[in-house]
Structure 1
Amino acid sequence: MGRTTSIVTGVDFVSIPTRDLTAAADFYENVLGLERSSAWQRPGEEPLGIEFETGTVTIALIAAEQVGIPFQPHEVPIALQVDDVAVARAELEARGVQFKGEIVDSGVCHQALFEDPDGNSLDLHHRYAPRAARA
């Protein structure tokens, strides 16, 4: 069976729902230290979304209920790449972030799970083993 050529060329952004866009933006900018790149809104209204850059994929905070989407936090974590999970965790703990359990060593990466103010699951992640070659 032949392989179909992908029409997808990348991932532009990942949406994260929020009930309080201002509080969420403060967390992503001032606690995680991400660069705010844009905000979007309907003319004359409060912002509906604020975007942050991670270096690889944009995180788009979305005021879910204001755009007609029932709010439901992500329960499966979004992995945020860091150079050293233990160091990044200690820095975030100093900024008031509480983690869910200890650092996990999967045999190929280290991870530490936590949540944003809306309960969206996030993961500090560092892959230390090379990826296996594809067949």
Structure 2
Amino acid sequence: MTNHTAGPDFVAFQVRNVEASARFYEEVVGLHRLPAPNPAAAVFSTGPGSSFAVRTPLPGVDLEAGTPLGYGVGVWFHQEDALAVHARLLAAGGEVVEGPLEGPFGTQFSFRDPDGYLVTLHSRA
């Protein structure tokens, strides 16, 4: 048995409307949606050994409390054609909060998802 923890291997955002958020991440961001038998979540493949999901809130989570969701947490996705996603995001009326710009992770930009989570997308693998 090893004495270290690997991860993260799964990240989930708690959202107001699972289907609306799932469509955003599938159609605008370009994630590959997996079949999910649980209607409380939509799961996406994000690479070998990792997944991302949008799901209904867990007990005790108040999405209407007024605190920005995910405040202080950085979630990054990789996409070789970051500018194509940027264009889709703008066409869908999405909110870009930074970029696109060239940085240490290639072309990158940050956006808010439909629930207000801040996500950065970058092009360098």
Same fold (TM over 0.5): yes
Displacement, 1:7? 3.5
Corresponding pairs, count:
117
Displacement, 1:108? 4.9
Partner of residue 68 from structure 1, selected from 59, 73, 77: 59
More strand by share: 2
Q: Which runs of 5+ in 1 are unaligned?
A: 42-46, 129-135
Larger Rg: 1
Contact 1:18–1:73 (CA<8 Å) still a contact in 2? no
Contact 2:28–2:88 (CA<8 Å) still a contact in 1? no
How far apart are the structure 2 equivalents of 1:96 and 1:61? 20
Q: Please tell me the root mean square deviation across aligned C-alpha atoms, in Å.
A: 2.4
Provide the TM-score with structure 1 as the length reference. 0.70
Provide the TM-score with structure 2 as the length reference. 0.74
Q: Amino acid of the residue matched to residue 79 of structure 2? A: V
Q: Quick one: percent identity of the two aligned structures? A: 31
Give the equivalent residue in structure 2 for 1:119: 116
How far apart are the structure 2 equivalents of 1:103 and 1:81? 14
Q: Which runs of 5+ in 2 are unaligned?
A: none
How far apart are the structure 2 equivalents of 1:38 and 1:74? 26
